[in-house]
Amino acid sequence: MNPFQIKEAPVVYDVAIVGSGAGGGMAAYMLAKAGAKVVLLEAGGYFDPADPKYITQLKWPYESPRRGANTTRPFGDFDAAWGGWQIDGEPYSAKTGTEFHWFRSRMLGGRTNHWGRISLRFGPDDFRRGSLTGVGDDWPITYEDVAPYYDRVDKLVGVFGSKEGIRNEPDGHFLPPPKPRLHELMIQKAAKGIGIPVIPSRLAILTKAINNERGQCFYCNQCGRGCQAYADFSASSVLCIPAIKTGNVTLINGAMCREVTTDPKTGLATGVSFVHTGTMQEHTVRAKTVMLGASACESARILLNSKSALHPNGLANSSGVVGKYLNDSTGASRGAFVPALMDRDRYNEDGVGGMHVFTPWWLDNKKLDFPRGYHIEYGGGMGMPGFGFGFGTENMNGKYPTANGTMKPAGGYGSGLKEDVRRFYGAYVHMAGRGEPVPLESNYCEIDPDKVDKYGIPTLRFNYKWSDYEVKQAKHMQDTFEEIFHAMGAIPMGNKPGPETNHGYGLEAPGKIIHEVGTVRMGKDPNKSALNAYQQAHDCKNLFVVDAAPFVSQGDKNVTLTILANSMRTSEFVIDQVKKKNI
């Protein structure tokens, strides 16, 4: 067999979809249900959270020789994500003095298999930050355009929450939220006393069954491992597998996309070429419409690599905007010790896989020195021990009295040390801010002129620096965390992060929060944007992007719910356009 031959599949699909995460999975689901013949290309392997081959849920730490440490998976042995910030043979680079960390999950369902399930709607203001603040840009669509799709996504995936009537935190169709855990009640009471709201969180987890295909949450706290009952939303279990069951989807795993192929005369997309990761052979699939849901950076990379005589800057890039305005959520965090929680009564407080309460953005940026808000996520409680449990006990057990009131020297060993570990168990809380950055043209990814990955595909080079806006926002987060800690009688751990800590006040490096968006932005003006209001390429009418690449901004909301809503909206637009014979 000639290893260099290009395999041409003999069929023309209605739609080729690249990527099976939230965006690609939703497109495959919508189009397959509508009767289209879909080829779904996924760079990674097959994954079904209910197949024992893949299940890590309900395993104990001692079932891992490293007790769940993160040696081969960034979030530990039991986390559902295959891949991470570094993948063998799939490098990327950054320009000197800048950095970006690119997390990729190579598997059916992509990163939705392990995500935090936080499902916050963008509010009306989140679509028009440019005109409201003079910083950044407006979306070409409004909340009213997306709201009907949010409604349908809520019902399809299942989201719990509470009706609060907060203007820029629109309520959805919510399942009942779980009651707060003990530390969450303490946080709620303390924060309320100093004017900071703490409301039930909004997560894509089924606290009640919504159909016969998916079970109800059984409160093991392990959504990050994927759910064998399909009681949380993953694109694999809720979108891709049902789409495949229609018989209309041809799934090709191990398909590493090289480029979108185009017709040299019309410039229209004709299909996708890819390298099979198992055989290293080149293939192409032909399709009448191409939809990219490969992730913000991967979709930009594919477009930039899809160069032709008619598309010399890459496909959908006559504006030159592809790759630019890359932005990730800001993130900063702090932990604290709660003396009142020493020697706790033991009971099962696993709850759902994530926080039961959170703080939505509650202040007016006009009165602050940074233009965008953040929300706060809370952690703590009597969780399952894993790798790292008990580390640093010597920093704690000399500071607080024992049960009978006596002090003892820090460190030590023996049965007294065992008593210390029992005493401190479940007595910690943790706060993490997740904020909206200002998207900048100067933060971008581009094709590295010198490098290719092991498949011979040119790789990305990043250029990303936080601005003062994000640093000031992180400072505000740290101040807020301390206020709440003090109000609840908690003692912050370590020194307060200052201007020199991490990227300033504990601000995480770009890419670390894994909410990157913006690289193939939509807009009304084809000179300043790559896609129109339906995520359709200005330059190529049968090409669509359905992941977070089209986002003009990301709010202080986690982006998955909006990827789902936008992909559903675009999929229906595609169906409509095919009906009208426009594409």
Q: Which is nearer to other proteins, 397 or 560 (CB)?
A: 397
Q: Which is nearer to other proteins, 94 or 260 (CB)?
A: 260
Q: Which is nearer to other proteins, 13 or 464 (CB)?
A: 13
Provide the minimum distance between the beta carbon of 78 and other proteins in the complex, in angstroms, as a whole number.
Answer: 7
What is the rounded CA–CA span in Å between residue 163 and residue 175? 10
Q: Which is nearer to other proteins, 53 or 366 (CB)?
A: 53
Among 241, 272, 249, 281, which Cα is nearest to 456's? 281
Q: Which is nearer to other proteins, 69 or 199 (CB)?
A: 69
- 144: CB partners within 8 A, 6+ apart: 124
Provide the minimum distance between the beta carbon of 333 and other proteins in the complex, in angstroms, as a whole number.
Answer: 22
Provide the minimum distance between the beta carbon of 34 and other proteins in the complex, in angstroms, as a whole number.
Answer: 5
Q: Which is nearer to other proteins, 82 or 370 (CB)?
A: 82
Task: Decide: helix, strand or coil at residue 129.
Answer: helix
CA 306, 311, 316, 318 dihedral sign is positive
Provide the minimum distance between the beta carbon of 52 and other proteins in the complex, in angstroms, as a whole number.
Answer: 5
Provide the minimum distance between the beta carbon of 329 and other proteins in the complex, in angstroms, as a whole number.
Answer: 28
Q: Which is nearer to other proteins, 6 or 452 (CB)?
A: 6
What is the rounded CA–CA span in Å between residue 355 and residue 430? 11
What is the rounded CA–CA span in Å between residue 26 and residue 31? 8
Six-digit token string for 565: 């809503």
Q: Which is nearer to other proteins, 103 or 122 (CB)?
A: 103
The tally of CA atoms less than 13 A away on the side-chain side of residue 324 is: 12
| Cα→Cα distances 384→59, 116, 221, 334, 347, Å | 11, 17, 9, 20, 12
Provide the minimum distance between the beta carbon of 202 and other proteins in the complex, in angstroms, as a whole number.
Answer: 17
Q: Rounded to 10 degrees, what is the CA torsion of 511, 512, 515, 521?
A: -10
| Cα→Cα distances 225→70, 263, 272, 402, Å | 14, 43, 32, 37
Provide the minimum distance between the beta carbon of 261 and other proteins in the complex, in angstroms, as a whole number.
Answer: 15
Q: Which is nearer to other proteins, 98 or 250 (CB)?
A: 250
Q: Which is nearer to other proteins, 124 or 379 (CB)?
A: 379
Provide the minimum distance between the beta carbon of 288 and other proteins in the complex, in angstroms, as a whole number.
Answer: 7
The conformation of residue 244, written as its DSSP 8-state character, comes to H
CB 332 within 8 A of CB 433: yes
Among 540, 118, 93, 151, which Cα is nearest to 358's? 118
What is the rounded CA–CA span in Å between residue 164 and residue 161? 9
Q: Which is nearer to other proteins, 216 or 467 (CB)?
A: 216
Q: Which is nearer to other proteins, 374 or 424 (CB)?
A: 424
Instruction: Report the b/e string of 318-356 with b at 16+ CB within 10 A.
Output: bbebbbbbbbbbbbbbbbbbbeebbebeeeebebbbbbb
What is the rounded CA–CA span in Å between residue 16 and residue 32? 11
Provide the minimum distance between the beta carbon of 433 and other proteins in the complex, in angstroms, as a whole number.
Answer: 25
Q: Which is nearer to other proteins, 35 or 320 (CB)?
A: 35
Provide the minimum distance between the beta carbon of 25 and other proteins in the complex, in angstroms, as a whole number.
Answer: 17
Three-state secondary structure of 12-67 = EEEEEEECCCHHHHHHHHHHHHCCCCEEEEECCECCCCCCCCCCCCCCCHHHCCCC
- 61: CB partners within 8 A, 6+ apart: 67, 68, 384, 385, 386, 387
| Cα→Cα distances 396→345, 367, 417, 469, 487, Å | 20, 39, 11, 36, 21
Which residue's entry shows tokens 């689901």?
Answer: 29
- Residue 320's region, left for phi above 0, alpha for psi from -120 to 50, else beta, is left
Provide the minimum distance between the beta carbon of 252 and other proteins in the complex, in angstroms, as a whole number.
Answer: 6
Provide the minimum distance between the beta carbon of 281 and other proteins in the complex, in angstroms, as a whole number.
Answer: 8
Provide the minimum distance between the beta carbon of 36 and other proteins in the complex, in angstroms, as a whole number.
Answer: 5
What is the rounded CA–CA span in Å between residue 216 and residue 153? 18
